[in-house]
Amino acid sequence: MVFGLRRSLMSIEEFPCLLPSTRGRRSGVRVIHAITHAEFGTLAERVGESGAAFLRESGFRGQVGELGLVPGKGGVAAAVLGVQAGADPFQFGTLAKDLPPGAWKIALPEGIAPDIAVLGFCLGAYHMPAFGRAARPERDIARLIVPAGGAAGAEVAQAIRLGRDLINAPPNLMGPAELAEAARTLLEPLGARVEIVKGRKLARAYPTVAHVGAGSERAPKVVIARWQGSRAGAKAPVLSLVGKGVCFDTGGYDIKPAAGMLRMKKDMGGAAIMLALARLVMVRDLPIRLELRLGCVENSISGTAMRPSDVVVTRSGQTVEIGNTDAEGRLVLCDLLTEASETDPDLLIDAATLTGAARVALGPDLPALFSNDDEVAQAILDAGTSCGDPLWRLPLWDDYASWLRSPVADLNNVAAKPMAGALTAALFLKKFIKTGVRWAHIDVYAWNDHYRSGRPEGGEIPVLRAVYASLLRTLHARDST
């Protein structure tokens, strides 16, 4: 099993930072009082006059995310956390790190669902898998008793933890074969039919994936998983997910500088996001039919690697000139998108760490969203805003499509002009989407450059909550009509 994967398969009862609610009646459990700024005047009612006086004199003001510890006999008696109403889990993200060890339960104000608090607590408790270092003993950490209604937050946290673990795995331990096997291990126990395509079959079905992976001794793999919810009939909507799984990207012959390779183990972030999302859909047993495709590959340099000016025939029959070997992600995706379109899904979504241009435009925390359907785009944007997992829509500006022309092929994999790189990459992918298929493309960074509340440095799984929330809203609207 891939290193770190076992801990990502933990049930709620095994989650190190959580305790089942059935254990909440035991003695020694302390309370975290989550209060809004308007409730600051009620401190004495919650922690007593002396506790409230101590907090005020120590400078506690109840700002969002601010944690105050209340002394008692033999140590800390309680804690107070400043919060605001809404669905932001990150305001709870410092609790696991800053609370003293032991069992805690949380008292929440109106306007904050228990699952949001549990999710934030778990996101802040995450740490990278350790290599050669003793793991922190479980008895020395703060643990939250899962409140009623909080289990859903733990399930989302488990999905995000899974994705973070996959991205954070060292590239020598997370190659194409390991990523593909991780998908099998995670999905088959939930009832998915998982096929791993390789060798000659892969070369015939996905020639661009094979072309990208030709330079590596670690051969490419394509994962195809299919699943149907227990309440999904033959006419249930089909959701098709596609993820870019470039396990390491040297840039190929258009080689990246040394600094540009430092984080290239995260270039499979799109696959990690889509795999985590697929597993969450299955765990929650949504009434849909699900398809997942992951292109697992390594972009290396060797005598068999793809070259600039190569021409490859795609699954769709369109030919592509390789203008730059470092624009490999769109080559990995295009054949998978072609195949996904062939099944006429109700919704097709892909995610990829595709362009630096998207990061220049929007920074690391705001994924770029492209879509050929305004309703789909708005649903994802609205859901992301409401759950604190935002995206920003960029246009599929067709006037730039001519920049992808090639004198020797149907199109080039890079634009002729050094501008609008995220847009032209999305326009390239659009060439492989069947007319009539509703499609969304998400260009993500999938990494935290530095620690913030609930977001430790390392791999990150953005857009999972936004897309999942949009699915729930869509299914609810469908059931209401």
DSSP for 319-368? EEE-S-TT--HHHHHHHHHHHHHHT--SEEEEEE---HHHHHHH-SSS-E
Residue (of 461, 336, 1, 349) closest to 188 by Cα position: 1
136-166 as b/e, with b when 16 or more CB fall inside 10 Å? eeeeebbbbbbbeebbbbbbbbbbbbbbbbb
Angle between helices 151-168 and 114-125 (to 10 degrees): 30
Residue (of 88, 87, 86, 112) closest to 32 by Cα position: 112
Report the alpha-carbon distance of residue 370 to residue 352 in Å, rounded.
12
Report the alpha-carbon distance of residue 350 to residue 119 in Å, rounded.
25
Give the Å distances, CA to CA, from 159 to 11, 85, 442: 11, 24, 18
Residue (of 435, 437, 225, 233) closest to 344 by Cα position: 437
Residue (of 243, 351, 236, 345) closest to 286 by Cα position: 236
Where helices occur in 354-460 by DSSP H, the ranges are: 356-362, 374-387, 421-430
Place of tokens 């995706």: 333
- Look at residue 390 and give its three-state secondary structure: coil
Report the alpha-carbon distance of residue 115 to residue 119 in Å, rounded.
6
For the purposes of burial, counting CB atoms within 10 Å of the CB of 212, is it exposed (0-12), middle (13-18) or buried (19 or more)?
buried
- Count of positions (residues) in the chain: 481
Contact 295, 244 (CB under 8 A): yes
Contact 469, 384 (CB under 8 A): yes
Which residues are catalytic, by number? 256, 330
